[in-house]
Amino acid sequence: MVSLGLVVLAGGVTVLGVALGVAPTAFRYHLRMAVGGPLDPTLLMQVQDAFANTILTSLGVAVPVAMITAFAVTWIVARRLGRSVAVVADAADRIARGNLRVRVQAPAIGPEFTQLADAFNAMAARLADTETIRRRLIGDLAHEMRTPIASLEATVEAVVDGVLPLDAVTRATLIDQADRLRHLVADMSAVSRAEERQLDLHAEPVELGRLATDAVAAARARYVAAGVQLDLRITDRAAVVRVDPHRITEAVANLLDNALRHTPAGGAVHVVVATDPRGAVLEVVDTGSGFDPVDAERLFERFYRADASRTRSSAGSGIGLTIARAIVQAHGGTLTAASEGPRTGARFRIHLPAHQHVRAHNLSG
């Protein structure tokens, strides 16, 4: 308000100075033009004095009235601006104290403040989502770490008490549980970044068939060892998408791991790459355990078990499907699951838009 008041004061002084400097000269010129010749000096002086007094009287009344009016308008505007800023500041303070449900209403005082309110609400919503993910992450991690930690404690205690010898079998058990914990921590970090859209994506045009070929080649040895058939069928090698090839290959690898876990020896897993009018499609179809169709969406929840271990993938942590969907969604695509029921196999379908512009997400943490 003080700043706006100084502007109003400067304007009033400027008006007064310009009027007193310009008006007398302009008045004499127009007076001579009206009379058509020179005036009597005494009369001219009297007329100029009368004009000057009139100007001073008028400005003496007009300038204070204008300044009072301007200050009143300034006071009203300043109060509205100050009240709006105070509301945002109070909301920010409440968020800082842990109340992430706070939102502000956009004041009707201009698009800038509407933009500020929208940005503040978006920030608050993002913080709330991050806090929800953090709490779920801690809860899920504590739940999943309980079993390997208990196994490690029991094994170590048995070795210390002399119940178990520290032989190759015992060491293998300890190494296996420690490895499970390592995989769990790494996977939880990956899925947390993926769910918060903090993946570092380096998109480029690439044939989806080539990515599928690389993922199948990497998984081939494990499938042979498990006695499960793995084949790849590419119906359109020109299925070009704009993606981060490493991330999409990781998503396909997670689907292949998941299919291998739930397909018994003698079964088969088929990978199909094709196109449709909206983009490119990659399907992983297995002849394994399948699942109840009502569980299709819940398969992508962290650690959800539709049956004994339907979603246990990504080194057994149970979040491989969660990571795969987050990666696909970060590229503007979709990942869905379908099955006709238990023991009927499952179909996982990735759809990616052709040449989709992918936003670069910064990796943090």
Query: pLDDT tens digits for 266-306?
Result: 999 999 999 888 889 999 999 999 999 998 888 887 665 55
Domains of the chain, residue spans:
2-96, 111-195, 204-353
Q: Which residue has the tokens 């490119």?
A: 280
Instruction: Give the mean model confidence (pLDDT) for residues 141-152.
Output: 74
pLDDT tens for each residue of 220-274: 999 999 999 999 999 876 688 999 998 899 899 989 999 999 999 999 999 999 9
Q: Provide the whole-model pTM.
A: 0.53
Measuring CA to CA, which residue among 170, 346, 357 is closest to residue 261? 346
pLDDT value for 156: 87
Spell out the long-range contacts of 52-59 with Cβ–Cβ below 8 A and sequence spacing 24 or more: 52/24, 55/19, 55/20, 55/23, 56/20, 59/15, 59/16, 59/19, 59/20
Using an 8 Å Cβ cutoff, are 173 and 155 in contact?
A: yes
Paired tokens of 216:
């199948």
pLDDT at position 62 over 50: yes
- Given a cut of 70, whether residue 198 has pLDDT beyond it is no
Residue 307, pLDDT above cutoff 60: no
| pLDDT for residue 365 | 30
pLDDT at 320 exceeding the cut of 90: no
Closest CA to 279 of 330, 331, 326, 230: 331
What would the mean pLDDT of 9-18 be, rounded to a whole number? 78
Domain 204-353 has CATH 3.30.565.10: yes
Of 124-133, 188-197, 349-358, give the range with the top mean pLDDT. Answer: 124-133
More confident residue, 101 or 138: 101
Q: Are 290 and 344 in contact (CB under 8 A)?
A: yes
Q: Are 350 and 298 in contact (CB under 8 A)?
A: no
Tokens of residue 311, six digits: 């979603």
* Mean pLDDT for the stretch of residues 315-343: 83
Angle at 306 between CA 301 and CA 308, to 5 degrees: 125
Rounded Cα–Cα distance for residues 364 and 99 (Å):
24
What's the rounded Cα separation, in Å, for the pair 350 and 334? 6
pLDDT at 309 over 50: no
Instruction: Give the residues across from 284 on adjacent strands.
Output: 271, 348
CATH architecture of 111-195: Orthogonal Bundle (1.10)
Domain pair 111-195 / 204-353, same fold: no
Are 242 and 204 a contacting pair, CB within 8 Å? yes
